């Protein structure tokens, strides 16, 4: 897991990134936009420091292009550092996104830290994930707020 400090400039850029309200199929009706933008920006900053070429596209189907691969960054808000047995998920409404990879991040509610958890190709994710219906509860006691495909953090590919 990679920890990225959220800088004041990242926070300002994130606030401008999603000024338009709720994304299509948004579970939180736009309430997670700022965290989502911070997750994307933290990942972009980390990639850039590693020497990767990043094209910031921010479309419905994917958020960035990294060395020719279309990547969609999936972010959730959290209160504490995530544990390996926590789950990442993709809402069933988003299964048609035209991306090559998913990258999963978490952003603390305090908006001062982002965690880059890992990645998985879209195909591998759907082969290995478990489908949960809205309202189902996982072994950690988490109740799903929509139909989701989900996998534990420990099963993601690490950077």
* 94 confidence band (pLDDT: 50, 70, 90): confident
Question: Span 135-146, mean pLDDT?
Answer: 85
Contact (Cβ atoms closer than 8 angstroms) between residue 54 and residue 47: yes
The topology under which CATH files domain 2-155 is Trna Endonuclease; Chain: A, domain 1 (3.40.1350)
Domain range summary for the chain, segments of one domain joined by +: 2-155
Identify the band that residue 33 occupies on the pLDDT scale cut at 50, 70 and 90.
Answer: confident
Q: What is the pLDDT of residue 65?
A: 96
Minimum mean pLDDT range among 5-9, 13-17, 115-119: 13-17
Strand pairing partners for 55? 65
């Amino acid at each position: 897991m990679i920890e990225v400090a959220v800088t004041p400039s990242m926070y300002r850029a994130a606030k401008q990134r999603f000024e338009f309200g709720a994304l299509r199929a948004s579970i939180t009706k736009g309430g997670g936009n700022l965290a989502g933008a911070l997750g994307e920006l933290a990942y972009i900053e980390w990639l850039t420091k590693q020497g990767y070429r990043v094209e910031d596209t921010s479309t419905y189907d994917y958020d960035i292009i990294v060395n020719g691969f279309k990547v969609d960054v999936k972010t959730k808000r959290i209160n504490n550092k995530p544990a390996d047995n926590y789950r990442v998920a993709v809402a069933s409404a988003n299964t048609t996104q035209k991306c090559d990879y998913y990258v999963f991040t978490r952003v603390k509610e305090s908006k001062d830290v982002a965690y880059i958890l890992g990645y998985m190709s879209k195909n591998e994710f759907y082969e290995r994930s478990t489908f949960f219906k809205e309202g189902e509860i996982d072994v950690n006691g988490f109740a799903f707020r929509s139909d989701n495909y989900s996998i534990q953090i420990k099963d993601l590919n690490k950077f």
